Amino acid sequence: MSTLKVNISLYICDMKAGVVIFPGSNCDQDLIQALRKHNSMEVVELWHKDTDLQGCTHIYIPGGFSYGDYLRSGAIAKLSPIMESVKQHAANGGFVMGICNGFQVLTESGLLPGALLRNDNMKFVCKNVNLRTETQATSLTKNVEKGEVLQIPIAHGEGRYYADAETLSALNANDQILFRYCDEAGNVSGEANPNGSLENIAGICNEGRNVFGMMPHPERCAFEWLLNLDGVGILA
């Protein structure tokens, strides 16, 4: 038993998080501080022009406006040198998570299915929303109960998740939908949908369950002084 504990401890110490920073990223420091507070991993910054992931086991792509959101959100960021390394990391089963603009980068890069389109009201939306946790069967949501309702902030103009019928069917069949927009009671409805996302989808994972994307910002509700700790379970 003691040997097992030592081995687990060594494994945890070997884990290392890297936060990718593009020109226009503006949520990187929030995410770095949240990870350092709630996670035992070392956290380092990864510059978009580099290709070395510095031995990171967990890669995070933060929110913001990479390259000013020119062309489409994430369309230029996907061409950054570091993204080839991120793709290889994901192909090898490594953990990758994109938040807001990071989610957009991952769909543009083909690491997640579907696309993020302009909000149906054609406006930038910044407010707290409710999310219903759809699955606990991922490393990202393992600390959150299925059906649990979280209050997480959003801040985006292109957050409307879209995918064709075949992709949506596969996401549902494979339990790849992480979160859906809902009301305080957990009811999924059009009124609770802030951007027109199909099936109220707020976050998904890939079929391999190692690449994750979500539009809401868990790093913005991970500190006591924000009076909201609902994001801690996602980042811990």
13 band by pLDDT with thresholds 50, 70 and 90: low
Q: Looking at the predicted structure, is the pLDDT value of residue 2 above 90?
A: no
Give the pair of three-digit tokens for residue 172: 């549902």
Query: What amino acid positions are annotated as catalytic residues?
Result: 100, 217, 219
In this predicted model, which residue has the larger pLDDT, 4 or 84? 84
In this predicted model, which residue has the larger pLDDT, 119 or 1? 119
CB contact set of 177 (below 8 Å; sequence gap of 6+): 134, 135, 171, 199, 201, 203, 204
DSSP, residue by residue, 62-119: --B-GGGG-SSTTTTGGGSHHHHHHHHHHHTT-EEEEETHHHHHHHHTTSSSSEEE--
Q: Looking at the predicted structure, is the pLDDT value of residue 106 above 70?
A: yes
pLDDT recorded at residue 228:
97
| CA atoms of 72 and 58, how far apart (whole Å) | 26
Domain harbouring 61, CATH code? 3.40.50.880
Query: What's the mean pLDDT in 22-42?
Result: 96
Helix (H, G, I), strand (E, B) or coil at 210: coil
The terminus-to-terminus CA distance of the chain in angstroms comes to 25
Query: What's the mean pLDDT in 90-106?
Result: 98
* Cut 0.85: pTM above it: yes
Domain count of the fold of the chain: 1
| CA atoms of 220 and 105, how far apart (whole Å) | 20
pLDDT recorded at residue 149:
98
In this predicted model, which residue has the larger pLDDT, 6 or 232? 232
Contact at 8 Å (CB) between 221 and 152? Answer: yes
What is the domain extent for residue 125? 2-235
Contact at 8 Å (CB) between 76 and 39? Answer: no
| CA atoms of 103 and 180, how far apart (whole Å) | 15
Q: Looking at the predicted structure, is the pLDDT value of residue 80 above 50?
A: yes
Give the pair of three-digit tokens for residue 166: 């075949």
Most distant CA pair in the chain, distance: 58
71 band by pLDDT with thresholds 50, 70 and 90: confident
Query: What's the mean pLDDT in 62-75?
Result: 93
4 band by pLDDT with thresholds 50, 70 and 90: very low
With pLDDT > 90 as the criterion, what percentage of the chain qualifies? 92
Q: Is the dihedral of CA 75, 76, 82, 88 positive or negative?
A: positive
184-225 confidence digits (pLDDT tens)? 999 999 999 999 999 999 999 999 999 999 999 999 999 999
| CA geometry: angle 94, 64, 17, nearest 5 deg | 30
